[in-house]
Amino acid sequence: MNIRLKTRSSRIGVVLPHSHHKLTAAKPIEKLPLPEEVIIPLSQHIGAPARATVKRGDKVLTGQKIADSDRPVSAPIHASLSGEVASISSLISPATGATIEAIVIKSDGEDKWVELTPTKDVSSLSNEDILKKVREAGIVGMGGATFPTQIKLMPPKEKPIDTIIINGSECEPYITSDHRLMLEYGEEMLKGADLVRKVLNPQTSFIAIEDNKEDAIRHLEELISKLNLPFQIVPLKSKYPMGAEKTLVKAILNKEVPIGGLPMDVGAVIQNVATCKAVYDAVYLGKPLIERIVTVTGAVRDPKNLLVRFGTPLKNLIDYCGGKTTAGGEVIIGGPMMGIAQFDLAFPVTKGTNCVLVKEAQVFAERDCINCGRCVEVCTMGLMPTLYPKLVKKGRYDECKAAYVDNCVECGACTYGCPANIPIVQYIKVAKKELARRAQKK
């Protein structure tokens, strides 16, 4: 039975940027026409990149596995349309600057699928069966983290899980892809979430949604009652970054995830609503992960929510939405707080792409820190962000580590309110990358 809880808040997460959700919140999902070719990166997840299992000239079908890895933390990659492998090339990741391998498939215009094997009786599946299907479908966290889902559903025995939180908060400005998914694929999402619950067997199961999505809350309440599922909806105050995993754990369970730890360290697992829908597709329909909902918004003539095949160039999405307005300049994958600016609109949509934001390019000169303390006030992790730029500029990376830089979730709240225009998160990324390089060298 569903129990609707009173709206919960938290003392952390006090940044209130304008949401801009109204641009697309009422826009139904549309299918983007298939491109003439797709560019499919083989590293669309945290962990080891997949390796191509096809070669140039091979004919492939939609949904066919084209890359995989024998490493435990990884995920297979599937063809997002049918056609011929035109090349196996490389491209530059805008997030890391690293060179990544990619498979280019030229469409045959027919979109012929591999034969799918739907599950006739889902209730007969063991947990191992479900995990195998999730892994083979190439599912990763679709809230942005892209951690392989099957690994997240296999916590160590010494860390029993008593709570799962299905994350539908979607707190980042502009993005409404999860909102529309809950409205249009709510039943499928809930059935996928119930499979997550079956595997982890928690005592309590929550669905977290910000209270500015009242229509989604009402809709899921009705579905939970209809399907007789043991989920409790938790309406959360609409503020940024409410959707961050550690913030959710604090807001809902009033537990602190230890420094350097994960929610499983306090008995919790968080799964995004789009991930749950992908779990449904994999287990019920036998369908691999080859597409996702993407919000295209900002300075475009007709903002939309689109169902997009992976590998589709960003330019196709923008053109389908009428192109940029005169104000349109910068293109960002993701939202304005955590997104990554793009230098090439030929770069493709991947498993982690939930939004394409076009905005007017604004360049502000970085000035010296004035020690106002705003970044400290808004830090969701209780850190001192003002320290990191100063330490990085002096190459004092060990002191960054001592100041718990690795515990930063890179939400961007500190940078958002900085009156000196210091790109604090970028300095934090530099520190993390250098510390990781040193650790690897050791």
Beta-carbon contacts of residue 143 (< 8 Å; ≥ 6 apart)? 167, 178, 243, 272, 274, 275, 354
Q: Which two tokens stand for residue 335?
A: 């939202």
Distance of CA 183 to the CA centre of its chain: 18
Return the domain boundaries, the chain. 21-27+118-285, 374-441
Encode pLDDT of 171-192 as tens digits. Answer: 899 999 999 999 999 999 999 9
* Nearest Cα residue to 146 out of 333, 387, 350: 350
CATH T-level topology, domain 21-27+118-285? Rossmann fold (3.40.50)
Q: What is the pLDDT of residue 11?
A: 44
Place of tokens 């690994």: 151
Buried/exposed code over 413-429 (b: 16+ C-beta within 10 A; e: otherwise): bbbbbbebebebbebbb
Encode pLDDT of 194-208 as tens digits. Answer: 999 999 999 999 999
d(Cα 41, Cα 67) in Å, to the nearest integer? Answer: 10
Residue 123, classed as helix, strand or coil, is helix
Residue 370, classed as helix, strand or coil, is coil
Q: Which two tokens stand for residue 159?
A: 């860390």
Residue ranges of the chain with per-residue pLDDT less than 70: 1-17, 95-97, 327-328
Q: What is the pLDDT of residue 440?
A: 77
Q: What is the pLDDT of residue 17?
A: 65
Encode pLDDT of 110-141 as tens digits. Answer: 999 999 999 999 999 999 999 999 999 999 99
Instruction: For 48-98, give the DSSP string.
Output: SPPEES--TT-EE-BT-EEEE-SSSS---EE-SS-EEEEEEEEEE-TTT--
Residue 348, classed as helix, strand or coil, is strand
